[in-house]
Amino acid sequence: RIDGARLWQSLMDLARIGGTPKGGVCRIALTDLDRQGRDLFVQWAREAGCSIRIDAIGNIFARRAGADDSLAPVMTGSHIDTQPTGGKFDGNYGVMAGLEVVRTLNAAGVRTRAPIEVAVWTNEEGSRFVPVMMGSGVFAGAFTLEHALAQRDAQGVSVAEALAAIGYAGQAGAAPAVGAYFEAHIEQGPVLENHERVIGVVQAALGQRWYDVTVQGMEAHAGPTPMELRQDALLAASALVAEVNRIALDRLPHARGTVGSLEVHPNSRNVIPGRVKLSVDLRAPDDAQLLDMDAALRAACARIAAERGLVIDVEQVVYFPPQPFTPHLVEAVRANAADLGYSCMDVVSGAGHDAVYVARVAPAAMVFVPCADGISHNEIEDADPAHLEAGCNVLLRAMLASAGV
Amino acid sequence: RIDGARLWQSLMDLARIGGTPKGGVCRIALTDLDRQGRDLFVQWAREAGCSIRIDAIGNIFARRAGADDSLAPVMTGSHIDTQPTGGKFDGNYGVMAGLEVVRTLNAAGVRTRAPIEVAVWTNEEGSRFVPVMMGSGVFAGAFTLEHALAQRDAQGVSVAEALAAIGYAGQAGAAPAVGAYFEAHIEQGPVLENHERVIGVVQAALGQRWYDVTVQGMEAHAGPTPMELRQDALLAASALVAEVNRIALDRLPHARGTVGSLEVHPNSRNVIPGRVKLSVDLRAPDDAQLLDMDAALRAACARIAAERGLVIDVEQVVYFPPQPFTPHLVEAVRANAADLGYSCMDVVSGAGHDAVYVARVAPAAMVFVPCADGISHNEIEDADPAHLEAGCNVLLRAMLASAGV
Ligand SMILES: NC(=O)NCCC(=O)O
Ligand SMILES: NC(=O)NCCC(=O)O
């Protein structure tokens, strides 16, 4: 069993780097605070007997040798970059849980057959540099290293320059094989808490399609323009917001439909809106359902445009296919949670995670633990130490089962 | 009959002051361009034999003496300040039409019994200083002179300072009695054009109630948060946008309901909106109907809040009572339009105008003419010279009937 107090202490120590007055963390990818966080991890990993490897996109791999070092490593990890107003647990928990597994194996004097690795993936959040999940995306070949290194932040600094500046531009080369990958993460949603379960056995990550939608109506004076002669872009956009919700409600339990961003032009009290731009985020557990939702969205746009005599333009801007996790690893998570006496339930990951990319090139699974009120990407993000300990114990057992003793 | 070509030429000459490359006019209230426009009007009015009086809020009154100067004047006018991206006709037409009436009377050697006055009201648009319709509002006692003079623009300049700077801070004193007030104005809407009528006989101005509405939901991650556990502020706001439209559609032909402005927080693609602020603009021809719409709005907010488990706050920020125009003056407009052989129809003014305030203290009526595609508050605002001429002829006849010859 892992040492819950030591795990909690590591999380609290790491959270001081970039800690905010409100109790959150602001440790943006590839800043000097990110360097300090990385340096602390590397120091701790070295103290725990690990060797360190950095790849060309700045991913850190801390390796605990196995009995047979020719075997592909059993890997765990996550990220330590945060949102600008992020919390102490998102990402950080997965990395500290990995370190705690290594420390526990050391304390117990356990030698695994396959090596154990703890990964710190670069720029998962995407707050400073897009695309999100950059380090694991390059690792999995979702996009090229060159593409990632060339991205620039709002100040014009490239990923390549930022990596060099903090001393984490490592060696290029093909990504090594991974025997199995496990990632522990806070749920970032309310399902486990609502069901009063401690462990979420993550079956899959939802597929995602993101869109930019523009509704083009006719700007006119709100006073002299009779209701029946209007082409009100906001009225049409509002109908679309309701449809996006309906499209997901018709496909419960796992489908999601969200309009998170909406901008009105000219946005003046007594002017009928002439143009509205909005985002649509559709998610579903399988590609057929996601395509069906795509078709429903396009049909809704066409119908609303025809009914109201205006133009609606739909452009898809992001696509993540649904990503099932590897059945025997998912089963290992479930069986070990049950063995340890933790209440658990099957869940899906509604959000993207590094594990979603790694699952493209290696067997992978995730372990979710509850977070307070389901809140994440927020300085008030919180989690119960007992839940974090439980998730880490499940991680330890599942990794041991994969690595062999 | 008035001289349509001379009227058009005056409008085009005035439009050069603050003229924009796109053919519009930017002549913001109490700027140096406003001063140049005022100076040109004063020069033209003096050349036409008028005496000039400036009041303490900067309203200009150009007076053509009558046979009996003890009679209250028959007044016309409008404003020459514009929106930042305004057109050549909004306001300017009413002032130039008044000047054209004076010139026509001069050319025909007509002496009226009552004096004729042409008013240029200060800051109708309210783009730089609120409240809108400031000069006519002070004249009508809708708010005090002191209140108006103390208002400041975004740079901190007060109305009093701006008036002094352009040399149009005139004499304080009680507003003199007005025998009758007529205002010619472009319709700023599409009704006359749609009905192919040249003259709009304005019965009344709609009452207005403006609101600030805040929908408070719960910000959460769009991926991990199931549909049934959301408090989506934008989804609730969208239902309200549809309701505002419905409230007006249920009360045709004259009721209006518009959400012109809507802002989403945090307005991020993959975050369920936690808070939405929106404006509501309700208009109706009588106060009972407007109050009924107010009740319907508040009921809709309460119902949506209850159904969706979130909080909706409604605050009224502006109220203009419905303003009927004076029946015998309205009849004079209609009779003279018919006499002159112009097609005409009864309309309501959906927008506020200086005449709406003046009608609180004097008999008043308005003459509307079509504007191209109903577009106003836009640099492409346009009007047919023949329609402008027609409206001015109706104005001339109606003023003669009131002033006596
Ligand atoms: N975990 C996370 O916030 N991923 C970002 C992409 C998403 O919205 O799923
Ligand atoms: N004419 C005009 O635009 N007035 C402003 C107030 C309103 O929206 O009616």
For A92-109, write each residue's pLDDT tens digit.
999 999 999 999 999 999
Inter-chain residue contact B223 with A269, CB threshold 8 Å: no
SS3 state of residue A296: helix
CB of residue B353 inside a 6 A radius of ligand 2 = yes
| Averaged pLDDT for residues A390-398 | 98
Q: What is the pLDDT of residues B72-108, one digit of tens each?
A: 999 999 999 999 889 999 999 999 999 999 999 999 9
> For ligand 2, atom 4, which residue shows the shortest CA distance?
B352
Q: Given this model, what pLDDT does residue B127 score?
A: 85
Q: Given this model, what pLDDT does residue A127 score?
A: 86
**Nearest C-alpha of chain A: how many angstroms from B339?**
27
Return the residue in B225, B264, B320 with the most chain A beta carbons within 10 A, the one to mutate for interface testing: B225
Nearest CA in chain A to B284: A223
End-to-end Cα separation, chain B, in angstroms: 15
| CB-nearest partner of B260 from A268, A279, A352 | A268
b/e B121-152 (16+ beta carbons within 10 angstroms → b): bbbbbbbbbeebbbbbbbbbebeebeebbebe
C-alpha B243/C-alpha B240 separation (Å) is 5
Phi, psi of B152 (to 5 degrees): -125, 150
Is the Cβ–Cβ distance between A72 and A177 less than 8 Å?
yes
Is the preceding omega at residue A363 within 30 degrees of 0, hence cis?
no
Task: Kindly state the tokens that stand for B362.
Answer: 């004097």
CB-count exposure of residue A310 (10 Å: 0-12, 13-18, 19+) = buried
Q: Given this model, what pLDDT does residue B147 score?
A: 97
C-alpha B128/C-alpha B81 separation (Å) is 10
> For ligand 2, atom 9, which residue shows the shortest CA distance?
B351
**Which residues does ligand 1 sit against, CB inside 6 Å?**
A 132, 351-353; B 223, 270
- Nearest ligand 2 atom, CA A224: 9
Q: Given this model, what pLDDT does residue B154 score?
A: 87
Expressed in percent and rounded to 5, the helix, strand and coil fractions of chain B are 40, 25, 40
Which residues, given as ranges, of chain B have pLDDT below 50?
A: none
Q: What is the dihedral of CA B332, B338, B342, B347, to 10 degrees?
A: 60
Q: What is the pLDDT of residues A208-224, one digit of tens each?
A: 999 999 999 999 999 99
Q: Given this model, what pLDDT does residue B244 score?
A: 98
- pTM for this model (two decimals): 0.90
Distances (CA, A) of A344 to A188, A195, A215, A392: 16, 9, 44, 14
Mean pLDDT (chain B, rounded): 97
CB of residue A270 inside a 6 A radius of ligand 2 = yes
Q: Given this model, what pLDDT does residue A14 score?
A: 98
Mutate to test the pocket of ligand 2, among B188, B258, B353, B371 (most ligand atoms within 8 A of CB): B353
Distances (CA, A) of A96 to A249, A338, A371: 37, 23, 16
Q: What is the pLDDT of residues B227-239, one digit of tens each?
A: 999 999 999 999 9
CA of A344 to the centre of ligand 1 (A): 23
Nearest CA in chain A to B127: A268
Q: What is the pLDDT of residues B121-167, one digit of tens each?
A: 999 999 899 899 999 999 999 999 999 999 999 899 999 999 999 99
Please give the full DSSP string across A303-343, using - where no structure is assigned: HHHHHHT-EEEEEEEEEE--EEPPHHHHHHHHHHHHHTT--
> A–B: how many Cβ contacts below 8 A?
213
Predicted confidence band of residue A154 (pLDDT cuts 50, 70, 90) = confident
Element (H, E) at B186: strand B180-186
Element (H, E) at B166: helix B159-166
Mutate to test the pocket of ligand 1, among B268, B270, B271, B272 (most ligand atoms within 8 A of CB): B270
Closest CA relative to residue A377, chosen from A234, A260, A228: A260
Task: Kindly state the tokens that stand for B258.
Answer: 């518009």
Q: Given this model, what pLDDT does residue B136 score?
A: 98
Q: What is the pLDDT of residues A230-260, one digit of tens each?
A: 999 999 999 999 999 999 999 999 999 999 9
Q: What is the pLDDT of residues A26-85, one digit of tens each?
A: 999 999 999 999 999 999 999 999 999 999 999 999 999 999 999 999 999 999 999 988
Q: Given this model, what pLDDT does residue B197 score?
A: 98
**Nearest C-alpha of chain A: how many angstroms from B301?**
16
CB of residue B186 inside a 6 A radius of ligand 2 = no
CB of residue B283 inside a 6 A radius of ligand 2 = no
Is the Cβ–Cβ distance between A385 and A327 less than 8 Å?
no
Q: Given this model, what pLDDT does residue B7 score?
A: 98
